[in-house]
A and B are shown apart, each in its own frame.
Chain A
């Protein structure tokens, strides 16, 4: 018994190593937060001390320099519209895959499963030509249409699993009542897969809101089109040496995601774990 208990305990050295890693993870966040209230002199001379005052000058400056209000609105538009369009395309598709009787359904599912392995980065440059050809290059409208495509594989695969869990008797009884395909989907299936919809929406929210490279190249850096993720590095190039302003800008762009994390907490963790391995 005693031997077993001794075996259960983790050695001290493991706690020490984990503590060091935690320190390495937390320090940058601490540094960003306190520095966003500081002047350069304060940052350089006392990098670890709390700021002398909690004035918001740096935040205001960052906000105004790169029009963060416009950028955040663009981010919200891109994220919101892309999320809706993704669901609009993926819900019927996953319902059909789950209820299809025959080989074709498996093929469609496998088509999307294969898509999980190929990140959209592979086709970055040709996507530019697609945008030019559609007359939507350097506009955020292209992102509205493009982001859903990148999210479809994971969204369809996950939603199909949720759809499969619904007993098909439900469908049959509804068919007997004379309800049409679309009505069954909208009024019976969709409400039942709300947990699945929540899962994919959280995942897609994170990837749409945080996306950088495609937003930079396809929507471009002009103040009317750029998202907050594109605006932030522009702040870097403008204020190379004003770390306080720069980090205040970083904090502003991080807020929405961490607010969502605080609200959802464990749920968000579970969702990301589920999504990471599928994706």
Chain B
């Protein structure tokens, strides 16, 4: 009895050793190409490094001290906050309602799904090219305004200080609402219909059913989506801004993630750019914690 079990555990151990060789390459690969650079970010933020091929020197925390008095940094910081404060509160409720709408299977919902899906497949550079043509001074928006006699409202959307950043956010929301709605619809399709039928018998309208029943049921899921969107908005918008406005005019549409890119590759201040990256990283971690906390399951 004892004999067999010890032989068994020996077998398990030998088996485990063999198995761990199989995940080793993946773990190594991931560490080498992504964990390594991430750790390097913290170290580089302590260096003075004026260009990709220049020599670097250790300067401690002075990059971070410089941040405090850098107006461009604060403007980017403000813009990132504005972006979160505008994009998430618009995106989450509207896409949740649209997801509910879709889950009710209204006439044409199949086609609607395809249409909501289409923007999710387009690449950043194709999307930007499209919107460059749409928001150009002679582009679709301005010529449409002209057509309906509102030519006075036309403006160089991506080049004007008052509209550039708003336009970037509008482009983010454009397809984001539809795709997020599909995610919510998928979650809602797992909710048993009796719950809604009971509510309907009580005379609850759709509005009430969305916010008093569907939303509480999906609370944690909404939290996950909120977190993913938050991460995407904070990190992922650098490419969009680079292609649409290059952070301009001035720094009106510069946010933190674009500033990391711009400081490193346009201004060649490598160490300083990584100090910004460290701050951005810390903000994202804090934001993730905050979102998890506020959407945690209510008992």
- Asked if A60 CB lies within 8 Å of chain B CBs, one says no
Cβ–Cβ contact A93 & B26, under 8 A:
yes
A124 nearest CB across to chain B (Å):
7
A193 nearest CB across to chain B (Å):
14
Expressed in whole angstroms, the Cα–Cα distance for A243 and B139 within the complex equals 9
Expressed in whole angstroms, the Cα–Cα distance for A233 and B117 within the complex equals 24
Q: Which of B103-149 contact A (CB under 8 A)?
A: 104, 106, 112-113, 115-126, 128-134, 136, 138-140, 143-144, 147
- Asked if B158 CB lies within 8 Å of chain A CBs, one says no
Q: Tell me which residues across on chain A come within 8 A of B277, comparing CB atoms.
A: 122, 124-125
Cβ–Cβ contact B121 & A261, under 8 A:
yes
Expressed in whole angstroms, the Cα–Cα distance for A101 and B186 within the complex equals 34
Most chain B Cβ neighbours within 10 Å, of A18, A26, A44? A18
Smallest Cβ-Cβ distance to B185: which chain A residue: A273
Q: Tell me which residues across on chain A come within 8 A of B200, comparing CB atoms.
A: 3-4, 7-8
Q: How many of chain A's residues touch chain B, expressed as a range?
A: 35 or more
Expressed in whole angstroms, the Cα–Cα distance for A236 and B131 within the complex equals 12
- Asked if B67 CB lies within 8 Å of chain A CBs, one says no
Smallest Cβ-Cβ distance to A112: which chain B residue: B30
- Asked if B247 CB lies within 8 Å of chain A CBs, one says no
Q: Tell me which residues across on chain B come within 8 A of A101, comparing CB atoms.
A: 12, 15-16
Cβ–Cβ contact B178 & A21, under 8 A:
yes
Expressed in whole angstroms, the Cα–Cα distance for A75 and B178 within the complex equals 28
B72 nearest CB across to chain A (Å):
17
Q: Tell me which residues across on chain A come within 8 A of B38, comparing CB atoms.
A: 118, 122-123, 126
Contact flag A217-B265 (CB < 8 Å), given A122-B281, A125-B44, A273-B183 = yes
Q: Count residues of chain B with CB under 8 A from any CB of chain A.
A: 97
- Asked if B88 CB lies within 8 Å of chain A CBs, one says no
- Asked if A83 CB lies within 8 Å of chain B CBs, one says no
- Asked if B228 CB lies within 8 Å of chain A CBs, one says yes
- Asked if B19 CB lies within 8 Å of chain A CBs, one says yes
Cβ–Cβ contact A31 & B140, under 8 A:
yes
Q: Is the interface of B mostly helix, strand, loop or mixed?
A: helix
Cβ–Cβ contact B132 & A100, under 8 A:
no
Cβ–Cβ contact A89 & B25, under 8 A:
yes
Most chain B Cβ neighbours within 10 Å, of A22, A25, A117, A229? A25
Expressed in whole angstroms, the Cα–Cα distance for A99 and B97 within the complex equals 42
Smallest Cβ-Cβ distance to B205: which chain A residue: A7
Expressed in whole angstroms, the Cα–Cα distance for A149 and B35 within the complex equals 10
Q: Tell me which residues across on chain B come within 8 A of A181, comparing CB atoms.
A: 18-19, 22
- Asked if B89 CB lies within 8 Å of chain A CBs, one says no
Q: Convert A99-115 into 0s and 1s, putting 1 for each residue whose CB lies closer than 8 angstroms to a CB of B.
A: 11110110010011001
Expressed in whole angstroms, the Cα–Cα distance for A92 and B138 within the complex equals 54
- Asked if A246 CB lies within 8 Å of chain B CBs, one says yes
Q: Tell me which residues across on chain B come within 8 A of A45, comparing CB atoms.
A: 143
Cβ–Cβ contact B117 & A213, under 8 A:
no
Cβ–Cβ contact A125 & B274, under 8 A:
yes
Contact flag A121-B235 (CB < 8 Å), given A10-B101, A127-B33, A243-B136 = yes
Expressed in whole angstroms, the Cα–Cα distance for A204 and B71 within the complex equals 39
Most chain A Cβ neighbours within 10 Å, of B27, B30, B132? B30
- Asked if B293 CB lies within 8 Å of chain A CBs, one says no
Cβ–Cβ contact A257 & B121, under 8 A:
yes
Q: Convert A200-240 into 0s and 1s, putting 1 for each residue whose CB lies closer than 8 angstroms to a CB of B.
A: 00000010011111000100000000000110110110000
Most chain A Cβ neighbours within 10 Å, of B22, B104, B147, B200? B22
Cβ–Cβ contact B22 & A93, under 8 A:
yes
Question: Which residue in A44, A100, A150, A269 is a CB contact (below 8 Å) of B19?
Answer: A100
- Asked if A279 CB lies within 8 Å of chain B CBs, one says yes
Q: Which of A27-85 contact B (CB under 8 A)?
A: 27-29, 31-32, 35, 44-45, 47-48
Contact flag A96-B19 (CB < 8 Å), given A25-B175, A146-B33 = yes
Expressed in whole angstroms, the Cα–Cα distance for A119 and B231 within the complex equals 8
Q: Kindly list 6 other residue pairs between chains A and B, CB separation below 8 angstroms, not including A93-B27, A122-B280, A250-B125.
A: A18-B101, A29-B118, A31-B140, A206-B121, A236-B243, A246-B133
> What 8 A-B pairs are tightest by C-beta distance, nearest first?
A149-B33, A210-B123, A93-B26, A126-B37, A123-B37, A7-B200, A96-B22, A126-B40
12 sampled A-B residue pairs with Cβ under 8 A: A35-B133, A47-B147, A92-B25, A111-B27, A119-B231, A119-B232, A124-B277, A125-B44, A212-B123, A213-B239, A261-B118, A279-B228
Q: Which residues of A contact B (CB under 8 A)?
A: 3-4, 7-8, 10-11, 14-15, 18, 21-22, 24-29, 31-32, 35, 44-45, 47-48, 89-90, 92-93, 95-97, 99-102, 104-105, 108, 111-112, 115, 117-130, 132, 145-146, 148-150, 152-153, 156, 181, 185, 206, 209-213, 217, 229-230, 232-233, 235-236, 243, 246-247, 249-250, 253-254, 257-258, 261, 269, 272-273, 276-277, 279
